[in-house]
Structure 1
């Protein structure tokens, strides 16, 4: 946000009267401006839609959508949960919440697929396969993503550590021995976890290979990462939309699983026997047997 504000302040003396109105509004209400069309923003400040478009071009953007995108990327990590709730209330049709949210998630999946770097993805797969130890960390809303990845990695590898933590000190205590030859996978999406970023900074200095699963190159996690896996995330009301990140993590698990097919097959055969012995899952035959006994 600071860079954009600096650009606006720098160009302010040369703006037209109408452009100054737009500049003032964006500076004071960037959270709302990010979700306004050019026409709506123009109507809000009392200028034409074309004036809004020229303003975006004056700032160096190809057009208003690019300015709007820049604002949206910034506010994802700036808005409080209360502000998210307020902003989203103007974006979601209260009569069609389910369709609105599902459509938004589908769009994020589509964009994630379009922007995916297959070469980088394959490099991450190879790095993880060759790791001596694998650490996985994600806190707050990213904790379920870390748990999901950890659950399946534990079926594939014998050297996985899912970092469980409720404090900064606990996190560092669990990664203190990470070093060269180890891979640390950090997961965080807006609002980014400072704990996760600091942890990745620490293990990077220790010589470990860092893989960041986050939303874009400007993420604080990317700063310390050797490899990045990007997936689009956004806010749906005060809730983080993590559909695309989960799908990308799923792809990572499947890709690694295909490389370790024989090992996984042996592990699953052992587990099936254990699951049956200890009745871990519901079994239709059990229900049928119970029913026959009752009869």
Structure 2
């Protein structure tokens, strides 16, 4: 999914709906919202509103402008200006449009669950939405080919995204001949990117999660200037890294707890590993070789 044509502490705020909500309803509502936002140049505040609407897609047609403003953490006039930016006379016109294409009833009351259950339900919805996005496998397949062809393959992840980058790099190293984890920013990261380019790298994979560090945007800008194709896994196609990514793959984070949860980005990373393996003819042989060595060393306790 191209960054030019798609949607978008270390993190806090918000909850999500109940278990009885239909996955198809939530996914189709989110897809309609994303289609509505595409092609519009939105300000950072407007992107924040759009992101909040996608996360609560089934509820949005039933929210007042004040409620939506509270959900997004913006002012009520900002919601009005957002609706106008989308081509509507105001927020009431936008809400009427959404109700015309939305299910007849709002989502189940999240009050039926405690805060911990709500966090789990929110992640389930994020995974369902990811499943609907993956119905079109072409963006992930393209990303897999790009990652497989890059020798070496730099993988960037800073702050909240460091664990996602480390997990991907750990498994990727079992099948890819040269994976280079970039887990520090600044000029050191730029030096390592330059070294990777000199060694023949063609693509950089980035995991970018909120809150988005400025140094991630700067590092990706440097990577593009160095000639690398940037593939990014981010929480939203509206994320700040979109403008410095060639291929952005969105996977929402959960925001119902004090710190964000990233089940969907982690799973998308594993999906990318699978797609990359499809582009590496010797991936299975490398895995089998590792298993033999691990058994000889008694590496794992069975």
Task: Please give the range of the TM-score, normalised by the shorter of the 2 chains.
Answer: 0.5 to 0.7
Q: Where do 1:1-295 residues align within 5 Å?
A: 4=46, 30=69, 32-34=70-72, 58-59=90-91, 62-63=94-95, 96-116=114-134, 117-165=136-184, 167-179=185-197, 181-260=201-280, 263-283=282-302
Task: Give yes or no for contact 1:178–1:203 (8 Å, CA) kept in 2.
Answer: no
Distance 1:270 1:197, change over 3 A: same
Q: Structure 1 residue 62: deviation in Å?
A: 2.5
SS where residue 155 of structure 1 aligns? coil
| Distance (whole Å) between structure 1 residues aligned to residue 125 and residue 113 of structure 2 | 20
| Distance (whole Å) between structure 2 residues aligned to residue 153 and residue 238 of structure 1 | 31
Relative to total residues, which structure has the larger helix share, 1 or 2? 1
Task: Give yes or no for contact 1:178–1:206 (8 Å, CA) kept in 2.
Answer: no
RMSD: 3.4
SS where residue 156 of structure 1 aligns? coil
TM-score (norm 1): 0.64
Deviations along 1:117-168, one digit per CA (max 9) or x if unpaired, are 4222221112122223211010111111101110111111112111132x52
Task: Give yes or no for contact 2:119–2:257 (8 Å, CA) kept in 1.
Answer: no
Distance 1:57 1:101, change over 3 A: farther
Task: Give yes or no for contact 1:181–1:209 (8 Å, CA) kept in 2.
Answer: no
| Distance (whole Å) between structure 2 residues aligned to residue 181 and residue 271 of structure 1 | 24
Corresponding residue pairs, total: 221
| Distance (whole Å) between structure 1 residues aligned to residue 171 and residue 219 of structure 2 | 23
Distance 1:273 1:219, change over 3 A: same
| Distance (whole Å) between structure 2 residues aligned to residue 132 and residue 232 of structure 1 | 29
Deviations along 1:30-69, one digit per CA (max 9) or x if unpaired, are 4x3448xxxxx9xxxxxxxxxxx9xx96148621897xxx
SS where residue 238 of structure 2 aligns? coil
| Distance (whole Å) between structure 1 residues aligned to residue 142 and residue 130 of structure 2 | 18
| Distance (whole Å) between structure 2 residues aligned to residue 156 and residue 114 of structure 1 | 28
| Distance (whole Å) between structure 2 residues aligned to residue 64 and residue 138 of structure 1 | 41
SS where residue 249 of structure 2 aligns? strand
Q: Structure 1 residue 206: deviation in Å?
A: 1.0
TM-score (norm 2): 0.63
Distance 1:2 1:119, change over 3 A: closer
Task: Give yes or no for contact 1:233–1:242 (8 Å, CA) kept in 2.
Answer: yes
- List gaps (5 residues or longer) in structure 1: 6-21, 36-40, 42-52, 67-90, 284-295
